[in-house]
Structure 1
Amino acid sequence: MNLELEGYQVFEATNGQEALDQVRLRLPDLVVMDVMMPQMDGFEALRALRKFSSVPVVLLTVKADERDVIHGLELGADDYIAKPFSPGVLLSRIKAVLRRAEAPSQAPLSRELRVDDRLTINFDRHEVWKDGQRVQLRPTEFRLLYHLASNPGVVMTHETLLSRVWGPEYRDASHYVRLYINYLRQKLEDDPASPRYILTERGVGYRFADLSNRA
């Protein structure tokens, strides 16, 4: 499809190295990258890209295996689309990724949640502090944490989290939730395998622990 007809300014690259050079030169709002590229494949290019840029990335590939999808997301992709796909699907995913990048959360102003003596979430400034240290979260990670922590003690289904954090286009992509829950646990929990804050409700979804009444 011609994205320029949709109002986007587009710059092209023919291989992975050229894509990295274009990102450095053009500073784009979003990168759409094919995994199968000469000289440097999309996975390698994404790994190199994340060393100097946090620009949103959508990966395109003929590999539809969930392990490949998870690998791409773990490297820092914001979305992963398997071929073949319709032009409408690509456009909707691009718009969804840009929306998430532009609006990290829907939090009300000047709101801070003191979870316990160790963890504080400032929804206004999009900051998370644990043991006096700032925890660096990517926009999607913060959006997911916002929807969980804003509803302590409430079970959030996979479908609800996908719709609120990623958009209705992702209602069947439950692996996105699992992966980003793991990211949050790695950053917030002392023991991610035995979490204190983000709890699993098996077969249903996740729940942010309500610690307000604990000593």
Structure 2
Amino acid sequence: MSTITVLALILLLAMTLVGGKRGALAFTSLILNFGILFLTLVLVAYEFPPVLITLISGTIILAFTIFLGDDDVLATQTAFVASLLILVILLLLIIPVEHWSWVQGFGSEDSEDLEGMSLLVGVSFVQVASVTAVLSTLGAIAEAAMAISAGLAEIIRQHPKIAPTRLFQAGISIGKQIIGTTFNTLFFGFFGGFLGLFIWFVDLKYSLGQLLNPNYSYEV
């Protein structure tokens, strides 16, 4: 039995002990989402349109994450619709930003590892970078949508005749309370994943321009 299998079983046991049936379903959604991500990588490698594949796989991942995470139909349906809207908006924003910022492809630091390999893989690295950015935010999107939707669903149960304007204001208030933790989740997840690379950049005394985009800084 491999280390990954043992750790997965420990995670399943811990989630089941803490969350019961809901914890087991959350673990199931984690496994299903891993399968969807793996299928996404395979389809992109076979030159299927990365953006279209991301839109489909992102929708499925959000559905698994949200509907297997709660029994509240009103909260889950609202959170799912809101998550889909955010997913589409992110795609519309990230694709042009990735194109104009020139951040796709490999850095000069990877030249030694790529020596002797063909870079003509038939995949647009602009779209791959866009796909990576979108998929990295799906967890935070689902988490924020469920937090706000669950709060609003509880308000509706306590005050069935609440005015739409007051309900909207309550949603904005909940969003303001969780926006800080949501952004911190994304930031520290990104920083922790690239901590070794950042230490390397510091040792090489990279400037801010080289850190953000060396190609653009050289052009300037």
TM norm structure 2: 0.34
Question: Which has more helix, going by share of residues?
Answer: 2
The structure whose Rg is larger is 2
Question: Which has more strand, going by share of residues?
Answer: 1
